[in-house]
Structure 1
Amino acid sequence: MEPEIQARLDQQDIMLNKIYVSVEKTRKYFLWTFIISILVFVLPMIVMAFVLPSFMKTLSSSVDLNLLAPQGY
C-alpha cells in the first residue's frame, strides 16, 4: 500500500478507537441513569405497598374512636 493511504488508515483506526471509548462511556452513563431512575420510581412504590396498609389501618382506627366518643365533647 502507499504510505499516504496507510497513514490515513492508521489515523482512522486511532479515531475509531477514541469513538468506541466515548460510546462505551455514554452507554454506561445511560445504563446507570436508567437503573437509578427505575429505583427512584419503583422503590418508593414497593415501600408504599407495605407502609400504606398500616397507615390506613391506624387512620381508620383513630377515625372510629372519634365516632364512638360522646357528642358533647
Structure 2
Amino acid sequence: MNAKPHGGGAIAKIKIENLPAVQQLVDEQPDAILSELCERLAERSGINVSISTMHRAVQRLKLTNKKNFICK
C-alpha cells in the first residue's frame, strides 16, 4: 500500500501581505506582549489570530521580544 500525498496543511491567517501590519504594530509598541499584538491586529484589520500564530509571524519578521521592565 502506497502512502497518500500530503494534504497541503492549513492556510495561514497572517499572509505575507499582512506582515507589514504586524511590523507596524511592533514598531508602535516594541514591548507589547503577543496577546496585545493579537488584539490590535484584530482591531485594525479584522484578522483574529491565536498567540502561537502571532508568534510565528513575529518570528518570520525576525523580531526579538525584548521587553522594557521598570523595577521599583
Q: TM-score range by the shorter chain?
A: under 0.3
Greater helix share, 1 or 2?
1
TM-score (norm 2): 0.22
Q: Bigger radius of gyration, 1 or 2?
A: 1
In the superposition, the TM-score normalised over structure 1's length comes to 0.22
Q: Which has the higher contact order (CA 8 A, sep 6+)?
A: 2
